[in-house]
Structure 1
Amino acid sequence: MSATTVTPAAIRPGVLGDLPALTEIYNHYVTGSNATFDVTPFSVPDRQAWFDHYAATGPHRLLVADADGEVLGYATSSPLRPKPAYDTSVETTIYCRPDAVGQGLGRRLYEALLAGLAREDLHRAYAGIAVPNDASVALHRAIGFTPLGTYREVGRKFGRYWDVAWFELALPYAKPRS
C-alpha cells in the first residue's frame, strides 16, 4: 500500500492478537524517529504489560485501524500522571504505519478515541509532540488541540536534544467544523 492509496479501515478496540503489529509499528518510531523517546526496540513480550493496561471502555483505551486484518495504526489514552487529582486528564498518543501516513487515518483514529472518551468523567486530553514534527502538529491542531508550551531540550536521542511541544484539548470533544 502506498501513501497515496486510501484504504478503508475499521476502527476498533485493540485485541491481544494485534500486539505483534502494534509492536512493529512502535519499533519503527523507536529506531527511526524522534516521535518517541524510547531508544531500544521492544519484543512482543516486552509490550505485554503496556497492552494489558488498556480496556475497550474507560479512560484508558487502545483503538486500532484495521484494514482486511492488517493493523495500520493505533491511538491510545493513558493516565497523564499517577496522582489521583489527575484522574480526569489523559495523555493521548497516535502512531500509524509509515505506508499509512497521510491518508486521514490518524484523524479518524483520534476522532474515534475522543468520541469514546466523551462518555467518561474526563476534563482534558494532553499530547506531547517531539518537535520538529509538522505532520503531528497539524493533526493535533486540526482535531482542536491548542498549544500550551514547550519543554526545551527535554529528551536526548540520536546524539542530540529534542524539544517537546505540549497541546491540550477540552473534553468532551466537540469536532471542529471543517
Structure 2
Amino acid sequence: MLEEEYQQRRVLPRHLRAPAPVEPAFTYAIRAATAADLPEVREIHTHYVRNSSVTFDAAAFTFAAWKKRFDEVQRRKLPFLVAENPSGQVLGYALVEPWNIRDRSNRVVEDSIYLGAASGGKGLGRALMEALLEACRTAGVREVIAVIADRSADASIRLHERLGFEEVGRMGRVGYKYDRWLGTVTMRLRLRGTRKPLFGGR
C-alpha cells in the first residue's frame, strides 16, 4: 500500500470524528473605569508605546502618572470607560480629556482608545467608542476631536469615519519614533443632543 493511500485510510469518516472544539464567545461589559483598573489600563497602553507608532509616547507612563490622569478626568466629570470580560480582565479602555486644558467648560475634548492586543477585530473598538460618545453627550460635551497617527493607524481612522468623524487636517513630521518622522490626522465630530454640562461652562 502506498503511503498516501495509508494516510487517507487513517482518516475517520466525518460522522465518526470528534466534534471540533468550540471557541468561547467573545463577551464583554463596558463600564466606568475605577482606580483599580489602572494597572491593566497601563499595561495595554505600554504595549503600544513599546511596539507601535500609533502613539508618539516614547516611554511608558508610570502608575503615578496614570493615577493623576484618572483623577483629573474624574474631577472634570468626563467619561473614562473600560471593557472587561466575564472574568474581570480589562480588554480595552476609552477616555476623553479637554482639548484645551485651560478650558473649564468640557465642551471640546480629545478622545483616546486602546484595545488589548488580542481584542482587536471583534467589534469591541466600535462598542467602546459608541459608549464613550454617549457618555460625552451626557457630560455636556459639544465636540470630540481625534488626533491619529498617520502610520499604522488605518483601523482607527476607519472606526472614527464610521462613527461620523470628519477629517479636518493633517500635519506632517510632528513626531519622531523608531528612527522616522510621523504625522497626524485630525478628525472631529460635532455631537447632537448634548445635555447640560456637568462641570462649569455656560
TM-score computed with the length of structure 1 as normaliser: 0.88
Q: Which amino acid aligns with 1:15?
A: T
Report deviation, 1:118: 1.1
Alignment-derived partner of residue 163 in structure 1:
183
- RMSD of aligned alpha carbons: 2.2
**Separation of aligned partners in 2, 1:54 and 1:6:** 33
Matched-pair contact (CA < 8 Å) for 2:170–2:185: yes
Q: How does 1:58-69 map to 2 (within 5 A)?
A: 58=77, 60-67=78-85, 68-69=87-88
User: 1:163 offset after TM fit, Å?
Assistant: 0.7
Please give the per-residue CA displacement for 1:93-122, whole angstroms capped at 9, x wherever unaligned: 100001001111010001001111112332
CA 1:170–1:6: 2 relative to 1, 3 Å = farther
Structure 1 stretch displaced more, 44-53 or 137-146: 44-53
Unaligned regions of 5+ residues in structure 1, if any? none
Rg: which structure is higher?
2
1:148 corresponds in structure 2 to 168
Deviates more, 1:25-34 or 1:46-55: 46-55
CA shift for structure 1 position 53 = 1.6
The separation in 2 between residues aligned to 1:173 and 1:89, in whole angstroms, is: 15
Q: Deviations over 1:113-140 (max 9, x none)?
A: 1111112332210000001211111111
Residue 32 (1) aligns with residue 68 (2): no
CA contact (8 A) 2:144 2:188 kept: yes
Q: Which amino acid aligns with 1:136?
A: S
Deviation string 1:58-87 (CA, Å, 9 cap, x unpaired) is 3x2210001120000000010001233874
1:30-51 CA distances to partner (integer Å, 9 max, x unpaired)? 1111111110123323422122
Higher strand share: 1
Equivalent of 2:102 in 70, 78, 83? 83
Unaligned 5+ runs, structure 2: 1-22, 195-202
1:99 aligns with 2:118: yes
Matches of 1:143 and 1:5 in 2, distance apart? Answer: 28
The partner residue of 1:49 within 68, 75, 79 is 68
**Is the 1:115–1:173 Cα contact (8 Å) retained in structure 2?**
no
Share of identical aligned residues, percent?
35
Instruction: Say how many residue pairs are matched.
Output: 170
